[in-house]
Chains A and B, each alone.
Chain A
Amino acid sequence: MSSNALTDSGSAGRAGDKIFSTAAMVAGSLILFVLFCVAVFLVKESIPALTADPADLKGGVSFFAHIGALIVGTLIAAAIALLLATPVAVGVALFISHYAPRRLAQGLGYIVDLLAAIPSVIYGAWGVTVLAPALVPPYVWLAENAGWIPLFTGPASATGKTMLTAGVVLAVMIMPIVTSLSREIFLQTPKLHEEAALALGATRWEMVRVAVLPFARPGIVSAVMLGLGRALGETMAIALVLSSGPMIASLIQSGNQTIAAEIALAFPESSGVQTNALFAAGLVLFVITLAVNMVARWIVARHKEFSGAN
């Protein structure tokens, strides 16, 4: 039977379509499947820890008493990191996108991307050998002059390996991610908006304030949330830098611990139900990260209409 080239190629195209759409769907569902498997595994491994006799667990307290302090520690470290990193990252991104000369901007952007590629163990080593000793004098000063604030209650740590130091290291680590994403968003500000602002007599700062920032707000939020995700899950740097201990309010004394670092530090020598407790801690971290991402999505979705992007 004779056939023409058009229908032939058409049927081949349909086959291609089918294969491609199937492949894409498999790839897409694979992600969900992996996520599902991780969740099932964590839940299954966690259950013995939740019902275990407190005497068998670390410190002789029930799992919930133990994990509470770790959750607080994780959130404190991430909060310090975000508070320090966000303003700097947005500033650097703005400088690269709107202030720096073109050539300098390219170089700077490249260097910021490079920072994101440094393994966390390097940041940890730097934090413990350079940053922590250097921060001891400021901590002593803080304890003497601002000791009435619970966050800075003395005596200051003699090693400098405190929650604040860990937060600073985390801030340095998440800054590149937040910077790169914010920069991309700032560069997408419609040129017409910027020019309109300038034409109305706005200074450059006013232009950034009325045209760039409102447009970029959801983007900044998602950039910050990605940074937060990394800060919550960061393990090695915290394990090296933080002098962990029981939960305390002071940020300049040793103490507190994060979930991820606790898992890494206790896992190699744990056995039995103590291992289950670590998996349960992992499950909690999993849930926190998931919640953070969902909140971020919600914020982005809520602000979309007002961003000026449409």
Chain B
Amino acid sequence: MKALRIGQTAAVLSVAALALTACGSNGNTGATSPAADGAAAVTGTLTGTGASSVGAAMVAWAEEFAAANSGAQVNYTEEGSGAGRTGLIDGKVDFAASDAYLTDEELAASEATCGPDGAFDVPIYVSPIAVAFNLEGVDTLNLDADTIASIFAGKITTWNDEAIAALNEGVTLPDTKITVVHRNDKSGTTENFTDYLAQAAPSIWTEEKSGDWPGAFASESAKGTSGVVDTVAKTAGAITYADASRTTGLGIASVKVGEEFSAPTAEGAAKAADTATAVEGRAAHDIAFDLDRTSDEAGVYPISLVTFGLFCSTYADQETADLVKAFGTYITSAEGQEVAAADAGSSPLSAELSERAAEAIATISVK
């Protein structure tokens, strides 16, 4: 039966398409150039796994790293932050990336694989999450946490609502209905955004932070960053949250911080990482921190996403240790951060944080 065979082909194709989109990479996975960089070149293969938020950046990093070190290769698979953390603890991978830092229990568990000092966290990727909307004739709006929470919880339903108007004097707001669009796939973006809402507007946003959008506040949804941006672009009066580098063409909200309003900029996100609260009781080289969602400091953009790189403090052999060190130093360096900014639209780490990360990674040694 020809029709059946064709149906099966279609099924195989759709599975392949799913696999491709699930990766979410920028498809820039061509062969690397065999450039050699004499002196500090390292060789070998590194495997890593974890968050999909750094997927595009990892592809770019792996390419550039392999180009600079012939014989070195980095394989990163996007299996989710949780899989990244357990993968490193179980010793299945050499490094991991995670939207959440290791918990104290996970740190203790990592001692079996990573030596007495366990594993440690280093910020490798910072990106602002924009609150983006489609409202004819309005390019920017000032919103505070309570208003944003009320909009996304469905409590403010039209754009000319008093709460919005009070923050935006002089802006003509239409009576268009607000259509909230959220992600329908599980995502670190959603987790960071709901974390902001839960912390900055706890009286309105009564749900806990979660990678899945809470069912209590369900509205329109779409798949992935491109899905929500696309849906908002097509729907008058729609609003969403998405990686700021991907919201071109939409109106962008500035968020109230202290007495001022800050726009989602690379500087704002980097500053949020700089002013974050360090997690207590961690080793000197562990740069785990919690973003201060309720910060009053001017210039901070509180709705930012941080992905941590997770490394072992000791590795079994010299080659792996050197390779991890070289790769870790590269991705947190100014150069590596620029590559991620160009390819994935992230915000480069500040010089200070980048230096701290380099110092932390330099402590990696052999068992």
Among the listed A58, A159, A181, A184, which residue makes an inter-chain contact with B235, where contact means beta carbons less than 8 Å apart?
A159
Cβ of A128 within 8 Å of any chain B Cβ, yes or no, is: yes
Cβ of A117 within 8 Å of any chain B Cβ, yes or no, is: yes
- Could you tell me if B14 and A269 are in contact, using CB atoms closer than 8 angstroms? no
On chain A, the number of residues with a Cβ less than 8 Å from chain B's Cβ atoms is: 45
* Chain B nearest Cβ from A190, distance in angstroms: 21
| CB neighbours of A100 from chain B (8 A) | none
- Could you tell me if B220 and A243 are in contact, using CB atoms closer than 8 angstroms? yes
- Could you tell me if A271 and B86 are in contact, using CB atoms closer than 8 angstroms? yes
A58-B212, A180-B3 known; A243 vs B221 contact (CB < 8 Å):
yes
- Could you tell me if A158 and B185 are in contact, using CB atoms closer than 8 angstroms? no
**Chain B 12-49 per-residue mask, 1 if CB under 8 angstroms from chain A, else 0:** 01100110011010000000000000000000000000
A49 vs B36: C-alpha distance when bound (angstroms): 50
Query: A240's closest neighbor in chain B, by CB?
Result: B223
A113-B2, A119-B10 known; A129 vs B184 contact (CB < 8 Å):
no
Residue of A128, A246, A255, A265 with highest tally of chain B CB at under 10 A: A265
A176-B3, A269-B211 known; A245 vs B221 contact (CB < 8 Å):
yes
| CB neighbours of B51 from chain A (8 A) | 269
* Chain A nearest Cβ from B133, distance in angstroms: 13
Among the listed B6, B80, B187, which residue makes an inter-chain contact with A117, where contact means beta carbons less than 8 Å apart?
B6
A159-B179, A239-B184, A270-B186 known; A254 vs B221 contact (CB < 8 Å):
yes
- Could you tell me if A116 and B184 are in contact, using CB atoms closer than 8 angstroms? no
- Could you tell me if A230 and B184 are in contact, using CB atoms closer than 8 angstroms? no
- Could you tell me if B9 and A269 are in contact, using CB atoms closer than 8 angstroms? no
**Chain A 50-70 per-residue mask, 1 if CB under 8 angstroms from chain B, else 0:** 000000001100000000000
A266 vs B22: C-alpha distance when bound (angstroms): 10
Q: In chain A, residues 254-274, which have Cβ atoms closer than 8 Å to a Cβ of chain B?
A: 254-255, 257, 264-272, 274
- Could you tell me if B184 and A159 are in contact, using CB atoms closer than 8 angstroms? no
| CB neighbours of B18 from chain A (8 A) | 121, 235-236, 264
A269 vs B50: C-alpha distance when bound (angstroms): 9
* Chain B nearest Cβ from A215, distance in angstroms: 19
- Could you tell me if B215 and A268 are in contact, using CB atoms closer than 8 angstroms? no
* Chain B nearest Cβ from A270, distance in angstroms: 6
**Chain B 210-243 per-residue mask, 1 if CB under 8 angstroms from chain A, else 0:** 0110110011111100010011001111100000
| CB neighbours of B11 from chain A (8 A) | 230
Among the listed B6, B177, B179, B186, which residue makes an inter-chain contact with A266, where contact means beta carbons less than 8 Å apart?
B186
Question: Can you list 23 contacts pairing A with B, beta carbon distance less than 8 Å?
Answer: A59-B212, A116-B10, A119-B14, A120-B13, A158-B237, A159-B231, A161-B231, A176-B3, A177-B7, A181-B3, A230-B11, A239-B185, A240-B223, A243-B221, A246-B215, A254-B219, A265-B186, A265-B223, A266-B185, A266-B186, A269-B52, A269-B185, A269-B188
* Other A-B pairs, 6, CB within 8 Å; known A243-B221, A265-B185: A113-B3, A159-B231, A180-B2, A230-B7, A245-B215, A268-B78
